[in-house]
Amino acid sequence: MKEKIKAYAAGIGIKETGFARYGQSAAVVCLFPYFSGYRPGNLSVYAYSTDYHIILRDKLKLICDFLIENGASRAESFADIGPAVDKDLAYHAGLGFYGRNTLMINPRLGSYFFIGYVVTDMELEPDSPIKGGCMGCGRCVKACPGGALDGGFCEERCVSAISQKKGELTDEEARLIKKAGYAFGCDICQRVCPHNQIPLSPMPEFTENQIYDIKEDMFADLSNRQFREKYGRYAFSWRGKAVLLRNIRILNKK
């Protein structure tokens, strides 16, 4: 049955699928590569296209339906927000290893992928973690603009986390935003990672309707409702226009 599930997943564009144990249930874990190349702009690559939650939700719904059609009585999907730590499930499903930058790395996809999973009562033998691991070169540690990876991960120094904070930023946080050059997210630790220096091919859904550079005049005259209507399907919109405008103004400040 596992091979049948993998074949079905491949048929709907999911390139990597593995199986893990979650409590008394089985988890079908799927990787969704999104890297479509770097563009000249101020957004993290993962935010270029349609919000990944939407794409993963639709694909995982198909997996759920397939499991039910093949004898499962329960199949529930999760993307980003769920009862399990998705990176841990991916590790135990044999889909990757932990990088020094805290990201999950797959030997074929690097780290530019999202993780989604389906919890089911179907009996599925779990896979085993793969051998090998992070090269340990330390490039991500040295390149991180906030020093967030020195001696372990410090979220308070992570530009991606800072860029999504609400309210006023401290002078130091604003300095880090300016230094990194991102209005939303940050890719620096991934850009320098040797595991990402391989040909990467995204799912087609992540190449459509891209926005990779956001400017003040895109949002300033929009009401919050108008903003949501125009940009609500993009991952960068979830914190609202005020956070984006704040970050853009920091980047534009002389």
Active site amino acids: 80
**Residue in 231, 194, 182 with CA at minimum distance from that of residue 211:** 231
The residues that bridge with 105 in the sheet, in sequence order, are 97
Residue 62 has what DSSP assignment?
Answer: H
Q: Which two tokens stand for residue 158?
A: 């992570």
Q: What is the 3-state secondary structure (H, E, C) of 198-242?
A: CCCCCCHHHHCCCCCCCCHHHHCCCCHHHHHHHHCCEHHHCCCHH
Determine the Cα–Cα distance for residues 8 and 236; give it in Å rounded to an integer.
31
Is residue 93 classed as helix, strand or coil in its secondary structure?
Answer: coil
